[in-house]
Structure 1
């Protein structure tokens, strides 16, 4: 397979030369482990990409999606085992350790959580409950009780606010729809449009999505057909137009059913990566600045069944976990090509599925 990761013996000078830079502020990685019911905490050395274990935080249930508050003071983690709750953790900026401060009810088992731009509201999407929900977040950064529930089609999968915070978008896998909802930031209420913002082909299964750093494009990954959609985003009207659809499966894919999972851009918007679980690979794309279109530039083997991965705020490192693996792989991202250089493997818990990173300047 092209760009196979057999580079461990060349870490040293190659990684430092390719990634460059001097010491940065403290960066921490949080990995939710569904089957062991805890969160692994690591500190990332921004010079080398090496990790140091900081702690293992018990969560008391099947912990899966997580989100970080905009001010970086809190980590929110959703439990998908009963009672369905979101845990509010304070983050110690000195060592990255978590302290659970509160547990609040969720409307259902949630596949995805995120906050609005102000950090005053928590959005959630329920795959099994076919709904979206809103919880308020207090001035203390702690999540309160459910204040709104919105029914959707089957298998709501992700929910995120638009960069201007005027609208919220949500992917609904079972109805092949990407929804738009008007957001009233004064009271935290959502109002769904009658028609989807983008209707996808039947049985495509839209899953996760990200906005480009310049807010001009949206990248939406499908779970069921191995596709990734590029949508031009109108920042004045919060509407989209399709630009391109590409495949995330490797060139030598054996014909098995595709199983897309996660998608992330580097902070400078130059490179996009997407995870495909059947082949256990990361697809690498170069992003055209003007058109937003993607060009496939690499395929990288990674942890088995890679549900979640993350890119740190410097854009120099990618961290990936697989649900059928009990370790995390860390890669350096070459600034000039986007290519990955394997740095190392680190133990995590059972059923790892989500990664969040936080950098304190």
Structure 2
């Protein structure tokens, strides 16, 4: 009987241990100086929301975007961002036990100003998007986490109608489909969402499709993209127009069903919408506005995928570039570049609204935040 009670107690405590002290927050920075910390890692207290610093890395420049491998062992960064005639992607090994973040290697990004990097679910491939020269690059990943030589690079030259910002292609993100069999590339410069099939078993995994892109509205400036957990809908935030376009999704095909503003009616121009994410339960969508508004627009999501605006939350800083939601959906963390602060919000699961908790973290020119439970 005693053994049975002990087993029940352990079974009850196991889920708590899994989510207790093993969630980490990864921050990048436009540090502009190799002697300054470029990446910082914090442990997230999943009860209080407190962030405790555990590791950092120097000797790289301007990691504008980060991603973490599926197994949590490796961190990949867009480096040498906003550096003339340069651009790279870099790999690091993260060891939570000895609280270390160790540089592994770098590869040329295949284009100037890399701004987004993502890893295939298999952990065998990495893809980065280059903004200035409008290109996408694909690399194999080695078993030790290092990035191998480039396997594919596609560059685009077409632009759109805005003579100041759309003289040529500007790829701003690279997002895998829910089944990881397609890759979508929002192109701010060309007002397109480009698409390739992705075959992880090929030496050149990007494969052209019969429908290589979806046109957006002119001067939309598509930036970031996300899929609904039910895999039926896709959502693209448009930086220049300050809108979100909603699409039905099926087998690599997007069909627009809605377009809705991220900004308030008071703001008529100068939109700088940036990032977009959906809560794990699929009930709420969040989108950040920069520039004249520094806030998070909050939307409810209907069963048909359509959005309904329900409120705004100030990011409590200036220029929110990237934000992230943890895997449980309890926390939303945003990075404010100009004010250099990172703010932890607690999500209300029923209303979707946000409330600041815990103490802010300061990091000069903080560019990116990612959350990973390890």
Q: TM-score, normalised by structure 1?
A: 0.88
SS at match of 1:250: coil
**Residue 140 of structure 1, aligned match among 127, 136, 144:** 144
Answering whether residue 341 of structure 2 is matched by residue 327 of structure 1, we say: yes
Three-state SS of the structure 2 residue aligned to 1:304 is coil
**Alpha-carbon contact 2:104-2:145 (below 8 Å) kept:** no
Q: d(CA) in 2 for partners of 1:273 and 1:60?
A: 31
User: What is residue 276 of structure 1 aligned with on the other side?
Assistant: 289
Q: Can you list the C-alpha shifts for 1:115-167, whole angstroms capped at 9, x where unaligned?
A: 12212111111111111111111122221121211012411111122122221
Aligned partner of residue 189 in structure 2, secondary structure: helix
Aligned counterparts of 2:318 and 2:266: Cα–Cα separation in 1: 17
Per-residue deviation, residues 257-314 of structure 1 (Å, max 9, x unmatched): 11110001111111111001020110011111x2011111110111201111111111
Which residue pairs with 1:163 in the alignment?
178
Aligned to 1:14: none
Structure 1 stretches of 4+ with a deviation exceeding 6 A read: none
Closer/same/farther in 2, CA of residues 190 and 252 from structure 1, 3 Å limit: same
| Separation (CA, whole Å) in 1 of partners of 2:104 and 2:171 | 28
Report the equivalent of 1:43.
43
Correspondence 1:27 to 2:23:
yes
Mean CA deviation greater in 223-232 or 190-199: 190-199
When residues 292 and 196 of structure 1 are mapped into structure 2, their CA distance, relative to the original with a 3 A threshold, is same
Q: Secondary structure at the match of 2:363?
A: coil
Q: Deviations over 1:181-223 (max 9, x none)?
A: 1222112431333644421111100000011112111110001
Task: Tell me, yes or no, if the aligned pair for 1:177 and 1:196 is still in contact at 8 Å.
Answer: no
Report the alpha carbon displacement of residue 252 of structure 1 after superposing the two structures with TM.
3.4
- Report the CA distance shift for 1:332/1:78 in structure 2 as closer, same or farther (over 3 A): same
Query: Structure 2 matches for 1:113-132, cutoff 5 A?
Result: 113-132=117-136
- For structure 1, the residue ranges without an aligned partner over 5 or more in a row are 1-20
Aligned residues: 336
| Alpha-carbon distance in 1 for matches of 2:48, 2:65 | 28
- For 1:111, the equivalent position in structure 2 comes to 115
In the superposition, relative to structure 1, how do residues 95 and 333 fare at CA in structure 2: closer, same or farther (>3 Å)? farther
Q: CA deviation at 1:65?
A: 1.2
Paired residues for 1:242-281 under 5 Å: 242-253=256-267, 255-278=268-291, 279-281=293-295
Equivalent residues of 1:277, 1:307 under 8 A apart: yes
Shift, 1:256, TM fit: 3.5
Check conservation: 2:141, 2:148, Cα contact below 8 A: yes
**Preserved contact between residue 179 and residue 192 of structure 1 (Cα < 8 Å):** no
**Separation in 2, partners of 1:194, 1:322:** 40
Bigger radius of gyration, 1 or 2? 2
| Equivalent position of 1:307 in the other structure | 321
2:155 to 145, 151, 158: 151
Q: Which of 1 and 2 has higher RCO (CA within 8 Å, sep 6+)?
A: 1
Per the alignment, do residues 217 and 343 of structure 1 end up closer, same or farther by CA in structure 2, a change over 3 Å counting? same
| C-alpha distance in structure 2 between counterparts of 1:83 and 1:241, whole Å | 37
Is 1:336 the counterpart of 2:359 in the alignment? no
